[in-house]
Amino acid sequence: MSAPSGRALRNGDYDEKYRQKDRGDRRRRIRLHGHTRNGKGEAVLSFIHDFSQEDLIRFFKEQGVPVHDRDKYVYPRTDQAETIARALENCLRDLGVKVVTDCTVDAVEDSTESREDQGFRIRYRQITCEKTANPSKKKNRVPTAKGGAKKAVRTSAVSGIFDCSAVILCTGGMAGPSFGCSGDGYRLARSFSHSIVSPLPALTRLECDSPVLKRAAGVRCHASITLFEDLNHEEGQNHPDNQNHPDVQDGQGYHDGQGDQDGQGNQDYQGKSGTRGQMRRIACEDGELQITQNSISGIPVFQLSGEAARLLDCGRRVRVQINFLPEFSEEEFDKETAFRLQIDRNRMLGDLLLGLAHRKVIDLILAEEGLQAEMKAARLSENRLRSIIYRFRKFETGITGTGGFDHAQVTAGGVPLEEMDASFASKKRAGLYFAGELIDVDGRCGGYNLQWAMTSGVLAGRAAGRYVSDKNDG
């Protein structure tokens, strides 16, 4: 939270927590192309035009922070996020801005009853911490989860208020609650009649319902992940599309991942157990996939997580399709399949598939089919073997949730752009401005959200400064 009167409040428990969050990515990227996940790309690009990536780089260079380009991303020369945080702190000090840290803002209120001369009154509690006098004594030491002990800390809070002419709400969202991100900004925005698009975790892992996913726990591999919305209203063999369908015979049908599209991005599909219906393709991402006991993670999953969270929040069913062999063209894959089918069938299934993917991924695919790597390939028909090999390109699992705010890098949702003007000024209260993650804009991995935070912060700060100047002159 910032006030153009020369004082700034940081809303949260402890200042050091925020510094730790900023240092969390040791190679902080500072680039954005206006790519957002909520259909507001054009509006965001207009803001970026007013304070662009080049403007941001120029600003940091003026603060003594040179940058370098790596893989089309811009990093501070030190590759340390702390460099950026320190540069910003030095800038505040040079400008004479008073920063009040270690505090919680309880309320932002109208400071006068006169609409013509209405300002703001901020009520806050400043938190102080001190170690106990005799930390060596047992009674003053707090047990830790690992069985050790740490020095006890006593906290106290002192209430305070100050009045100002303008306020910028830039409290962040709810991602990373361990750093003090509690969503207080939403409460403060609502106090001025602003609506809030439901805050949801984004850039986080996806929880899966596949009972065999744990077979590949610990695997990191290159893959392509496609996010689908399941348009079926019923599941299983009782779905009306399953009745008497020629491709469903005794539950032996398998999902070829293609199907007929209806021109609107929807496609017919047939699942492994014979389930048939329609799936709406949402997006597809490519990169390093990480698999855990019951979830998938990695950059491509992060890119899809915001859309998945929105669909789940609306009560929709969500699925992902994983292609473990994204580098194969259709022709190359057909040749690879033909080659595998020519291998001696007296080999075990694990040997027949050897080298096609990580050993644990092979176990995962076979477990999905109810098979084991030690089984002889000769026990299966050629069509069954072909369908097993094909599943390396089309492994599916339902999505039951996300990693939550504890593991999210950013918050989707917030104050709608429609409720503020082009300078991020509130349309409901003069002198109130918004910036950063509190606004309903979220971007992809790669520094996009950082650029948005800094662009919106600069533009809101400039506008708030002009507002106060005009008010004083008037």
Q: Which amino acid is at 393?
A: R
Do 186 and 127 share a domain, yes or no? yes
Do 196 and 243 share a domain, yes or no? no
Residue 74: phi and psi, rounded to 5, are -105, 130
Rounded Cα distance between 467 and 183, Å, is 27
Do 72 and 187 share a domain, yes or no? yes
* The last residue of a domain, from among 377, 402, 427: 402
Which domain range does residue 346 map to?
Answer: 206-402
- Residue-level length of the chain: 474
Do 227 and 107 share a domain, yes or no? no
Examine the pLDDT at 234 and tell me if it is beyond 90: no
Contact residues for 35 (Cβ-Cβ < 8 A; gap 6+)? 41, 443, 444, 448
Tokens of 450: 């950082």
Do 363 and 274 share a domain, yes or no? yes
Tokens of 235: 């599941």
Do 45 and 173 share a domain, yes or no? yes
Q: Convert the pLDDT of each residue in 66-123 to its tens digit.
A: 999 988 888 999 999 999 999 999 999 999 998 888 888 999 999 876 555 689 999 9
Give pLDDT, residue 350.
95
What is the number of domains present in the chain? 2
Do 170 and 23 share a domain, yes or no? yes
Range list of β-strands (E), 298-337: 317-323
* The last residue of a domain, from among 402, 431, 458: 402
Do 197 and 215 share a domain, yes or no? no
Q: Convert the pLDDT of each residue in 34-67 to its tens digit.
A: 344 455 667 777 888 889 999 999 999 999 999 9
Residues 229 and 316 sit within 8 Å (Cβ to Cβ)? yes
- 19/323: higher pLDDT: 323
For all residues of the chain together, what is the average pLDDT? 82
The domain that contains 143 carries what CATH number? 3.50.50.60
Do 185 and 279 share a domain, yes or no? no
Give pLDDT, residue 115.
55
Do 388 and 425 share a domain, yes or no? no
Give pLDDT, residue 272.
47
pTM of this structure: 0.78
* Banded pLDDT at 220 (limits 50, 70, 90): very high
Do 166 and 177 share a domain, yes or no? yes
Residues 195 and 27 sit within 8 Å (Cβ to Cβ)? no
Rounded Cα distance between 198 and 102, Å, is 27
Do 440 and 349 share a domain, yes or no? no
- 74/21: higher pLDDT: 74
* Banded pLDDT at 248 (limits 50, 70, 90): very low
